[in-house]
Amino acid sequence: MDKIDLAFTLDESMRPVDGRLTFDGEGVITVRENGERTRSLSAKDAKEAQVLGGVGCALILLTYENAPDIALARFDMSRLKAAGEWCKIVNHAIETGKPAFDDAIEPEVCEKCGKTLPEGMRVCPFCFSKTGLLKRVWSLMKPFRREAIISEAFIALSGVIYLSVPVLNRVLIDNYLAPRLGTAAQIMLLAGFMFLARAIGEVIFVLSSRVYARVGTLFSNHLRDLAYAKIQKLSMTALGRRTPGELIRRVMEDTVTIKDFLTDYGRWMVDMGLMFIASMVILALTNWRLTLLVFAPIPIVVVALYRFRSMIHIRYERQWRKNSRAQSILHDIIKGIRTVKSFGAEDREIAKFAGVSKDLAQVMTNNETMWALLFPAVTFFSGIGEFMVLYIGGKWILGGSLSLGVLVQFTMFLGYIYQPLRWLVSFPRMLADAMTSLVKMFEILDEEADIQETALSKDADVSGGVDYQSVSFGYKSYEPVLKEVSFTIEPGEMIGIVGKSGAGKSTLINLMLRLYDPNTGRITLSGEDLRAVSPRLLHEKAGVVFQDTFLFAGTIYDNILYAKPDATAAEVIAACVAANAHDFIMKSADGYDTLIGESGYSLSGGERQRLAIARAIIKHPRLLILDEATSSLDLETESIIQDSLNNLTRKRTTIAIAHRLSTLRAANRLIVLDKGRIAEMGDHMQLLRRKGIYYKLVMAQRQTNKAAG
């Protein structure tokens, strides 16, 4: 290939256009709109090609050393990635004078149909075939299938026994009672059969119900475990998209809805279905004309239900969302109750929740109202059938064309036929409820872990160095946070990372921990591409203190143990001594057994940090990552901890982020991050001599120290 094309979608006035931006090997850039050349210029004089992001759109521009910038092409966000690639190629040509067309800009396309996939998507919307939900439920039920089937078979059996009662009844009336032929013994026998049939049917039913209830409970348990396990495994990217309230709801409530549906409705569905079909066959064999009358209203009911189905579905989906929202708000507020109180915002929060709650109540009321109207309507239609059977059948009896026994049998069967029908009315509603929950459930279960641990994942070797090779990353693919970051950390080195807030420091270590994978470029650990390394094993081996320390509800001891469940008491105490936490722990009556509340709020900020440090170092990790780990501590405590850490960190790789530069005085090298790029790198003296960003930071802090001292 000797030129590279980029399709763009908007003209200078933001009108849609079929645009093409071409860079040829000679260094000439051509802009075409709707096939016509609008501009042609040479890349040679330019300084750089850049993508400039707007809101909902972006553009490519050429910058010049001594001339105004030129906008080349504008496009919607879907072209962003390709535009970045295009610029890279052009910039390479500008820098080296040589074109490099090795990687073409190919948007990702579906393997099957060849349509462009929306960015960030793996499934093509047009080729994806939905596996039947019920099929999936069936496969999830695998461990309980046998019991479910047995129970189902018994229910069917009891149904068949029940059905024999009206038939016996007809025989009794037509053969013995109406002609006044039967003996007392014969009547006794038939009546006894009917009684026995009912009794046996009842016993079998009760037994099978108990089995079924057990299956249901086990199944919901199983679902809950699956969902919880999946949530634990989800990547940070996937988790970041959902509120804790939503996740909790999925684990705790959706599983119950699904279970209720299966045990109540799944089972009745089979039961009633069988009864319905069997009744129909028996009736048709007895008298087909009367049978037609019985079934006359059924199509109306079915058509009505079918028509209402999607409406009902939408309504319940909405109810689910509103409910979810109310729960999320509740969860957030209760978690942040300290902040709420500190702003005196209790009343506002009460009002806010009342609003959401009222909203939910409104939706629920609407749904119930619709229901209350729909239900009697259907009952009414089936009542028509009942009326017709009695009226016309009665006329036929009077006319002599029908026997009394048959009519009695029919009226008894009417119950069996219309009952499932009435129940069928509430079925779509339950189905909608269950489907909504099922879909939400499978949404979680199907979430492809962005960061996958495969069977091939290698163990993490944290003893070697870390190497970032032009790593770019954004939490949203269109908002880069780190740009082309490259650096190497030698094994055993202590690296300090400094930079303005929001520069991407924490992000840098998130990538190192493989909480996220880079968008482009790669990170190697001891020479191994991090993508091939098991994140779980990596986390087991690295010690980390995050900027926002989180402690679990429990004792101090448990919290430290969290990092190394098999640690001895001596190890726990040693970790706390090293983190200078031992003294304050011993001051409280219960020592290491002191309970700390949720998020550790019963501790001071600095105490929390020290526990977090203890938790990170108890594993005696060869890779230690500290993100503002001592920022809440006074200088003296900090320096005590640092000394003990320095003793510990000899021969181990340490990456420390800090705003307070004194924290990093032991660092071998410092990396200065600025707006996602590495601005400066070197040791303290080198950076001072550069008189750049680091120099300014040092001077600013000296100034404040002086002012304070």
Partner 1 sequence: MQDVESASAPLLSDAIDLGYLDPDQARFSQTPGGFLALNYKGADYPRVSVRRSLPLAMPNEYLSLADPEGKEIAILRDLSRLDADQRGLVEAELARRYYCPNVVDVKSVKDQLGYVYFELTVQGAGAPSARMCAVKDVNKNIRMLSDDDVIMFDVDGNRYRIPSLKALNAKSRKRLEPYLF
Q: How far, in Å, CA of 276 to CA of 695, rounded?
A: 85
Among residue numbers 437 through 476, which ones bind ligand ATP (CB under 6 A)?
Answer: 475
Report the Cα 312 to chain-centroid distance in Å.
25
Among residue numbers 12 through 31, which ones bind partner 1 (CB under 8 A)?
Answer: 12-16
Per rule CB under 5 A, is residue 510 in the interface with Mg ion? no
Stretch that binds Mg ion, among 309-317, 505-513, 587-595, 639-647 (CB under 5 A): 505-513
Per rule CB under 8 A, is residue 128 in the interface with partner 1? yes
Among 7, 28, 77, 698, contact with partner 1 (rule: CB under 8 A): 77
Q: How far is the CB of 237 from ligand ATP (least distance, A)?
A: 8
Stretch that binds ligand ATP, among 244-252, 380-388, 504-512, 680-688 (CB under 6 A): 504-512
Nearer to partner 1 by Cβ, of 28 and 397: the residue is: 28
Q: How far, in Å, CA of 234 to CA of 251, rounded?
A: 14
Using the 8-state DSSP alphabet, how is residue 677 labeled?
E
Among ligand ATP, Mg ion, partner 1, none, what does residue 12 contact (CB within 5–8 Å per kind)? Answer: partner 1
- b/e 56-80 (16+ beta carbons within 10 angstroms → b): ebbbbbbeeeeeeeeebbbbebebb
Per rule CB under 5 A, is residue 169 in the interface with Mg ion? no
Per rule CB under 8 A, is residue 32 in the interface with partner 1? no
Closest by Cα among 511, 515, 535, 534 to 523:
511
Per rule CB under 8 A, is residue 447 in the interface with partner 1? yes
Per rule CB under 6 A, is residue 481 in the interface with ligand ATP? yes
Per rule CB under 6 A, is residue 502 in the interface with ligand ATP? yes
Per rule CB under 6 A, is residue 501 in the interface with ligand ATP? yes
By the 8 A CB rule, do 545 and 612 touch? Answer: yes
Stretch that binds Mg ion, among 363-371, 447-455, 488-496, 498-506 (CB under 5 A): 498-506
Per rule CB under 8 A, is residue 134 in the interface with partner 1? no
Q: How far is the CB of 676 from ligand ATP (least distance, A)?
A: 7
Among 56, 114, 399, 709, contact with partner 1 (rule: CB under 8 A): 56
Q: How far, in Å, CA of 67 to CA of 65, rounded?
A: 6
Cβ neighbors of 488 (< 8 A, separation 6 or more) are: 465, 466, 467, 468
Per rule CB under 8 A, is residue 178 in the interface with partner 1? no
Per rule CB under 5 A, is residue 632 in the interface with Mg ion? no
Q: How far is the CB of 451 from partner 1 (least distance, A)?
A: 17
Q: How far is the CB of 278 from ligand ATP (least distance, A)?
A: 59
Per rule CB under 6 A, is residue 507 in the interface with ligand ATP? yes
CA 289-290-295 angle, to 5 degrees, is 100
- What's the farthest any 2 CA atoms get from each other in the chain? 122
Among 153, 196, 292, 314, contact with partner 1 (rule: CB under 8 A): 314
Nearer to partner 1 by Cβ, of 479 and 636: the residue is: 479
Per rule CB under 8 A, is residue 45 in the interface with partner 1? no
Closest by Cα among 635, 641, 682, 687 to 662:
635
Among 420, 428, 496, 504, contact with ligand ATP (rule: CB under 6 A): 504
Q: Is the Cα dihedral 698, 704, 707, 709 positive or negative?
A: negative
Closest by Cα among 539, 454, 440 to 227:
440
Per rule CB under 8 A, is residue 65 in the interface with partner 1? no
**Given the DSSP bridges, would you call strands 46-53 and 36-42 parallel, antiparallel or unpaired?**
unpaired
Per rule CB under 8 A, is residue 194 in the interface with partner 1? no
Among 506, 510, 580, 649, contact with Mg ion (rule: CB under 5 A): 506
Q: How far is the CB of 616 from Mg ion (least distance, A)?
A: 16
Per rule CB under 8 A, is residue 331 in the interface with partner 1? no
Q: How far, in Å, CA of 624 to CA of 494, rounded?
A: 9
Q: Angle between the 288-295 and 346-399 helix axes, to the nearest 10 degrees? A: 160
Per rule CB under 8 A, is residue 355 in the interface with partner 1? no
Q: How far, in Å, CA of 666 to CA of 671, rounded?
A: 14
Structure tokens at 106: 């190919």
Using the 8-state DSSP alphabet, how is residue 116 labeled?
B
Per rule CB under 8 A, is residue 119 in the interface with partner 1? yes
Q: How far, in Å, CA of 473 to CA of 453, rounded?
A: 20
Size of the site for ligand ATP (CB under 6 A): 12
- b/e 491-525 (16+ beta carbons within 10 angstroms → b): ebbbbbbbbeeebbbbbbbbbbbbbbbbebbebbb
Site of interaction with partner 1 (CB under 8 A): 10-16, 54-57, 59, 61, 68-71, 74, 76-78, 80, 118-121, 123, 125, 128, 130, 241-242, 313-314, 317-318, 321-322, 324-325, 442-443, 446-447, 476-479
Site of interaction with Mg ion (CB under 5 A): 506, 547
Site of interaction with ligand ATP (CB under 6 A): 240, 475, 481, 499, 501-507, 547
